[in-house]
Structure 1
């Protein structure tokens, strides 16, 4: 004969716990989906022209919605304003320490922001990587029309361009899809370089927080370039610079912008003359001249570096690299001092 269940209280307790867990999961799902919409919201309808005062003073966020109080009066855009203002201007310290602790290349950009007053009196500022060679053509060259000049990068595949366009869209900044592969070398006036550097750091922090997962930000992950060339954390500074050039310069509409023959590959066998190129850059390659082969001391014997300066671009880079192996810091200082004095004497 069937008997009623004796432990009814235990069953009721278990059912209550299961119900609570289910409700919690549903709640967290709703919150997560809402957060996803917050960070992926797109602005529809006509875009507003940024106020001149806002764009000219980058100590305040150059947001398309004017000041924060008036922006919050627009319910449709309120959530976008919150996202866009989530990173305080010129107060990067906490975000930098947390978000960039495994991205050492930040050091090539941030000093331009932190110490902009140290170069404000110069006519032009050059920002470039360490694995580059300036050519004879650079010695007599001046950026035309005080333009902001960059070289060429190699990150603008279809996926990355769509991704950057998406970030620009939900952030409300200018974006020109025809501008591709903004190089890591910058040349411009101190004011423009400082502004572009500041916004580059801003976008690096933003992309790191919003568009990359914690795992993707670890050197153990991105050091092997598993996703290259699609959305690779190792070129975060390039992505940040791409957005900054669009935002600050409006791709040449607000300030003059040029892409010239900077960052030319050192694997080229074309001539290196006083007419160009301006600047050579060693990329990740084993083809001569290769920085990795040089670093691993592979250029020996029949593959030894040239003892005399030849006219090809690869040999020009190789000769300077070979010369650096026997040059001391004192010798380098003497050469720089001599070159500077020669330049000053020519001006007189």
Structure 2
């Protein structure tokens, strides 16, 4: 135990080495690349997108199974395109002899035992290449010889969409290790929780900045809309406030950072480990 260390391993993503792979799959191949062999020495791995924030809830939390958000809704539940996506994915699994337990809409982030995350990433890389051909390759419904543009049923929100092959590959992979009991047990959002709510950041392990303009918004952040944001009233145990504080403090934006840091005894190391305890103590006064 002790202070964590940042390790840097140089590698060239698989999508750059082989154009048959989707670009987003680099985020899985980096876990199974020979340069990342050291990852097998870890007990747990968090596989996540870049637009995310870890929370103090991660400290000392070591699940014995893979955690993921089961409410991602990339099948657009109850829309006209839902069955097009779900049935296509079930058929894709069946075609290569894989089981599909009807588990859909799994979020991008995974947290769990290292050997399971590495196994899942390995499957996701292989399956993404297969799905690119099976669902979107020449001769498929979404890529007909006479089409000059994508059919409406193959656009975002209307049916199978090539831009979410990563999520489709992850779905097929997670269906190989989860059973119904594991799926049903995930009633609480532990990873990929939203950054736009007043929910306790302490009850979740990880926040994901989704598309949208509500605070905290990555789009508003990139556009510089938070440069004059006054942070002094932030309560860091709330997901929304925690996200905006981390983003603004790390980028030198906003005002009032020193006051907030002093209130939460955030020292030079930037540790936020005591945020939840301090807000609980303040609320009890």
Of 194, 204, 214, the residue aligned with 1:265 is 194
Length-normalised TM-score, structure 2: 0.69
Higher RCO, 1 or 2 (CA under 8 Å, sep at least 6)?
Answer: 2
**1:231-310 to 2 correspondence within 5 Å?**
231-247=160-176, 249=177, 251-252=178-179, 259=186, 260-261=188-189, 262-272=191-201, 274=202, 276-301=203-228, 304=229, 306-307=231-232, 309-310=234-235
Instruction: Tell me, yes or no, if structure 1 residue 319 matches structure 2 residue 245.
Output: yes
Matches within 5 A, 1:153-168: 153-157=72-76, 158=82, 159-168=84-93
1:120 aligns with 2:40: yes
Return closer, same or farther for 1:94/1:233 CA change in 2, 3 Å cut-off: closer
| Largest Rg, 1 or 2 | 1
- CA shift for structure 1 position 96: 6.3
Question: Residues of 2 paired with 1:316 and 1:126: CA distance?
Answer: 19
Question: What do you get for the CA RMSD once the two structures are aligned?
Answer: 3.2
Segments of 5+ residues of structure 2 without an aligned counterpart are: 1-12, 77-81, 144-148, 254-267, 274-285
Aligned equivalent of 2:131, options 203, 207, 210: 207
Q: Which has the higher helix share?
A: 1
Match of residue 258 from structure 2? none
Query: In 2, are the aligned partners of 1:96 and 1:205 still within 8 Å (CA)?
Result: no
Change (3 A) 1:163 1:151: same
What is the deviation of 1:97? 1.2
Runs of 4+ off more than 3 Å: 92-96, 213-217, 255-260
- CA shift, 1:181, in A, is 1.4
Aligned in 2, Cα 1:335/1:235: closer, same or farther, shift over 3 Å?
A: farther
How many residues were matched structurally? 225
Contact 1:288 1:314 in 2 (8 A): yes
Give the drift of 1:309: 4.3
List runs of 5+ in structure 1 lacking aligned partners: 1-91, 328-333, 341-348
In structure 1, what is the Cα distance between the partners aligned to 2:95 and 2:67? 27
Equivalent pair of 1:112/1:197 in contact (CA under 8 Å): yes
Q: Tell me: CA distance 1:95–1:137, structure 2 relative to 1, closer, same or farther (3 Å).
A: closer
Q: Which of 27, 44, 69 matches 1:108?
A: 27
Which residue in 2 is equivalent to 1:180? 104
Quote the Cα distance in structure 2 between the aligned partners of 1:319 and 1:309: 8
